[in-house]
Amino acid sequence: MPNSGSIGRHDLTRRALFRSAGFLVFVSSLVMAPAWSLSFWQGWVYCLIFAGSTLAITVYFLRHDPALIERRMKGGARAEKEPTQRTILAWMSILTILLLLFPGFDHRFGWSHIPTSVVILADAIVAVGFAIVFLTFKANSYASAIIEVKPDQTVASHGPYAIVRHPMYAGATLVLLATPIALGSAWAVMLALGIVGGIIWRLLDEERFLSQNLPGYREYCDKTRYRLAPYVW
């Protein structure tokens, strides 16, 4: 099991849980505040799924792979060393905030309507997306939040990495595409598509970086044909 690195186990747990709690409060506020109504049930269900999935993943890896949690806490546009990645993350962050804000206004002013059954299906897809992210972290302890290569890092090619080259982005794509529908907003799908475009840009630039800096990555790309979606791309 990887060690937690430079941060003590107890301190890492405290910081990770505190950070997760703050992040979830931020996300929930973005989702619920624009609706200005406690009857926005789509928002409540989505926030419960999002919070439950995030906390479950965090608690699991704090126990089983604290080094992964420590690496992922060093993320964000400012932490990126590659200028292109900083630009991509900044763009995606803006669009993500808008994606979370817009459905509340949509609900408040009645701009669009999505059937309950479709909303529930989208919630299930959100949960599946988080499950894929969880499996990705289990398969690759080096799934950092920034584009980097550690001295002892090797190519991950098992588990979900045997199906697509970027399973974490595949899971995130499912979450993003399902989010506007789960929140009852058809119009917000356009924002989700913009973020997915950012993911594609990011992973292509990441492949360029890894091909140059991670031994064996080019051979892995030759073996694993699909980047994001099996039998599609």
Q: What is the pLDDT of residues 41-87, one digit of tens each?
A: 999 999 999 999 999 999 999 999 998 998 888 766 666 777 888 89
- Calculate the average pLDDT of the chain: 91
Please tell me the least confidently modeled range out of 55-59, 70-74, 95-99, 225-229.
Answer: 70-74
pLDDT band of residue 35 (cuts 50, 70, 90) is very high
For residue 212, what is the domain's CATH number? 1.20.120.1630
- Is 229 a domain residue? no
- Is 189 a domain residue? yes
- Is 230 a domain residue? no
- Is 2 a domain residue? no
CB hemisphere CA count around 145 (13 angstroms): 14
pLDDT band of residue 3 (cuts 50, 70, 90) is very low
In this predicted structure, the answer to whether residue 32 has a pLDDT above a threshold of 70 is yes
- Is 4 a domain residue? no
> Exposed, middle or buried, 91 (CB in 10 Å: 0-12/13-18/19+)?
middle
| Cα four-point dihedral sign 218, 201, 31, 124 | negative
Question: Which residues form the domain of 118?
Answer: 9-223
Cα 34 to the center of its chain, rounded Å: 23
Tell me the mean pLDDT in the region 115-131.
98
Q: How many independent structural domains does the chain possess?
A: 1
Neighbours of 232 (CB within 10 A): 8
Position with higher pLDDT, 182 vs 6: 182
- Is 179 a domain residue? yes
pLDDT of residue 153: 83
- Is 3 a domain residue? no
pLDDT band of residue 2 (cuts 50, 70, 90) is very low
Contact call for residues 186 and 114 (beta carbons, < 8 A): yes
Q: What's the pTM?
A: 0.91
- Is 231 a domain residue? no
- Residues 140-186 have pLDDT tens digits of 988 877 677 777 788 888 999 999 999 999 999 999 999 999 999 99
